[in-house]
Amino acid sequence: MSTQEKTAVTPEAFLTIGSAFCDWFEANGRELPWRQTRDPYAIWVSEVMLQQTRVEAVLGYYSRFMEAFPTVEALAEASLEQVNHLWQGLGYYRRAALLHRGAQYICQVCGGRFPDTARELRQVPGIGAYTAGAVASFAYGEEVPAVDGNVLRVLARIYGIEENVDLPAVRRRIEEIAQHMIPPGRVWSHNQALMELGALVCIPGTPRCAVCPVAEYCTARARGEASSLPVKNEKKKPRVVPRTVYIVTDGKHILLHRRPAEGMLAGLWEFPGWPDEDSPRGLDPDTLPCDILFQREAVQAQHVFTHRVWEMRGVRVQVEGMNWQELDEDYRWIPREELKNFALPSAMRAFAAYVRDAGFGAPEQGEE
């Protein structure tokens, strides 16, 4: 059965709806910095940052990142630590690592020439179907769809698609629909419009149908099903992982640990912790090359990831005589004031704040 038969929409109707999207966006679209350029590198950076992150949160990061790494060559030549430091606080750090790896691929394998088709872009590490479509359509005008979560939701509602949109076959069908909808010569406006509508109007839960520019065409609205679509896999509850985090210090220095190059929060710095399922190479304070004066509870924190929750118990470990030359290469014994120069994940925010406290270096009563 063809796409048109499945959706009971004629080719002409596809283009009518697509044109309505374009008209609405061209009159109402937000002015965002990545919409003011056709530079494929700048667009790529913005698309990676925007994955699973709100526009408002990205704006400051985007401008700082582009100032530090204005070209794909500049990003490729930077160290991953420099990239992570600018990404600090934005979350989902694997995106930064893949962006860095992709820049190196473009410079080393493509000779610095940014791929100019969606098919070529898919060859770059970390670039999937959505990002390839976004960059190819926004930078080069290639008439290809860019289907992310927002677009899946919009089109599932408009065409009344009641199957699970997380199924690959259903996603491919929606991508075919999006392709049919692109008005000739208007792919930039069309793809931007679908994303914008999903972000501002056709939102999760209860959509704002009263201000939707294509409400008259929406099957889900006509059936009273807008709030129940799209159908997706049920999210699993995040698993709770208890962690003990050590703030090892002599009052002037802090011990940091760099996480492995692969896996969760890869390559980022953290306050070391007792070995657990997320940090099997953890720390036993008794093995440190120093004298331990005392250990006491310092601060507690929680951090929610997509699939797990860290319930963290912070322990201050006061030491003296640290022989830092005996530490493993993944550890750093740094002056407290240099903490700001290291890329720490958001999960470590409460412990970093504790370290920055003005009275941190002073021994408490009864501890001298």
As a whole number of angstroms, the distance between CA 259 and CA 265 comes to 7
Residue 321 and residue 250 in one domain: yes
Separate counts of helices (H) and strands (E) for the chain: 14, 6
Question: Of 228, 261, 289, which residue is a domain's last?
Answer: 228
Residue 12 and residue 154 in one domain: yes
As a whole number of angstroms, the distance between CA 213 and CA 198 comes to 12
Say if residues 20 and 216 touch (Cβ distance below 8 Å): no
* Domain presence at residue 366: no
Say if residues 311 and 240 touch (Cβ distance below 8 Å): yes
pLDDT of residue 358: 57
* Domain presence at residue 246: yes
Say if residues 148 and 50 touch (Cβ distance below 8 Å): no
DSSP class of residue 247 equals E
Instruction: Exactly one of 47, 175, 196, 270 is catalytic; name it.
Output: 47
Q: Count of CB atoms within 10 A of residue 190's CB?
A: 22
Question: Of 173, 195, 228, which residue is a domain's last?
Answer: 228
Q: The CATH number of the domain where 149 resides is what?
A: 1.10.340.30
pTM of the model: 0.85
Low-confidence ranges of the chain (pLDDT < 50): 1-7, 365-368
Residue 261 and residue 170 in one domain: no
Report which of 216, 345, 368 is spatially closest to residue 268, judged by C-alpha positions.
Answer: 345
* Domain presence at residue 234: no
Residue 177 and residue 58 in one domain: yes
Neighbouring residues of 161: CB distance < 8 A, sequence distance ≥ 6? 7, 155, 170, 173, 174, 229, 230
* Domain presence at residue 97: yes
Residue 159 and residue 283 in one domain: no
Q: Could you tell me the residue range of the domain that residue 343 belongs to?
A: 239-356
Structure tokens at 304: 């929610």
Question: Of 206, 228, 250, which residue is a domain's last?
Answer: 228
As a whole number of angstroms, the distance between CA 126 and CA 98 comes to 5
Mapping DSSP to helix (H, G, I), strand (E, B) and coil, where does residue 73 land? helix
As a whole number of angstroms, the distance between CA 24 and CA 31 comes to 14
Residue 164 and residue 260 in one domain: no
pLDDT per position as a tens digit, 127-137: 999 999 999 99
* Domain presence at residue 368: no
Residue 258 and residue 165 in one domain: no
Residue 139 and residue 12 in one domain: yes
Mapping DSSP to helix (H, G, I), strand (E, B) and coil, where does residue 44 land? helix
As a whole number of angstroms, the distance between CA 107 and CA 72 comes to 8
pLDDT of residue 12: 73
Name the domain count of the chain. 2
Q: The CATH number of the domain where 327 resides is what?
A: 3.90.79.10
Residue 13 and residue 63 in one domain: yes
Residue 220 and residue 244 in one domain: no
pLDDT of residue 52: 86
* Domain presence at residue 367: no
User: Is 47 part of the annotated catalytic residue set?
Assistant: yes
Residue 268 and residue 195 in one domain: no
Say if residues 96 and 57 touch (Cβ distance below 8 Å): no
pLDDT per position as a tens digit, 92-109: 889 999 999 999 999 999
Residue 245 and residue 220 in one domain: no
